[in-house]
Amino acid sequence: MNIVEYPRSLQWVGHLRCNHCQGLNEAWRSSGMSDCFPHFFCSRCSNVIHREADKAPIYAAGKVDADVLAQIAATLPYCPCGGRFTPGVGPTCGHCQQKIDLIKDPVQYLQNPNMVVMDGACAFSDERPPYQVRIVG
Ligand SMILES: [Zn+2]
Ligand SMILES: [Zn+2]
């Protein structure tokens, strides 16, 4: 697994607060310019997948709606951890192991380009090999 290190000093490295335990999780967040949409988190861990191919059904429909979401969701793969990339689930808190409520509306979230990759989590793509993010200081 490739490892990408992001220094804490970067603008796009910050803390994601868990809405359950209020714990802070270091994470990297892609800029809006990166077009990392749509992306989906694993149902079990904090891994995340972003596939350029998933833009096609969105553009074909000309909008995001429940049908487009269902169409993409049906093709989402399993994560190496045994979970599955699933709409509507956020990353997993490193303190309490609960899912952080990052996604209010799974349909609208299809358009969110700001992909959060937690420290230690892996990002999967259909265009490049997977990589693990490490926040370093
Ligand atoms: Zn927590
Ligand atoms: Zn996983």
Closest CA to 19 of 97, 90, 101: 101
The percentage of the chain sitting over the pLDDT mark of 90, rounded to a whole number, equals 96
Report which DSSP code applies to 34: G
User: From ligand 2's centre to the CA of 62, what distance in Å?
Assistant: 31
Q: Is it the case that residue 38 has pLDDT exceeding 90?
A: yes
pLDDT reported for residue 16: 97
Output the pTM of the full model: 0.96
pLDDT (0 to 100) of residue 32: 80
Task: Specify the pLDDT at position 115.
Answer: 97
CA of 16 to the centre of ligand 1 (A): 10
pLDDT at residue number 53: 97
Distance, CA 92 to ligand 2 centroid (Å)? 9
Q: How far is the CA of 100 from the centre of ligand 1 (A)?
A: 7
Question: Domain extents for the chain?
Answer: 2-136
- In the predicted structure, residue 34 carries a pLDDT above the cut 90: no
From the CA of 77, the nearest ligand is 2
Q: What is the pLDDT of residues 108-122, one digit of tens each?
A: 999 999 999 999 999
Please state which of the ranges 1-10, 29-38, 52-61 shows the lowest mean pLDDT: 29-38
pLDDT for 48 equals 98
Q: Is residue 60 pLDDT above 90, yes or no?
A: yes
Query: Distance, CA 41 to ligand 2 centroid (Å)?
Result: 8
Measured between alpha carbons, how far is 89 from 41 in angstroms, rounded to an integer? 6
- Residue 33: per-residue pLDDT: 83
pLDDT confidence of 47, banded at 50, 70, 90?
very high
Distance, CA of 23 to CA of 15 (rounded, Å): 9
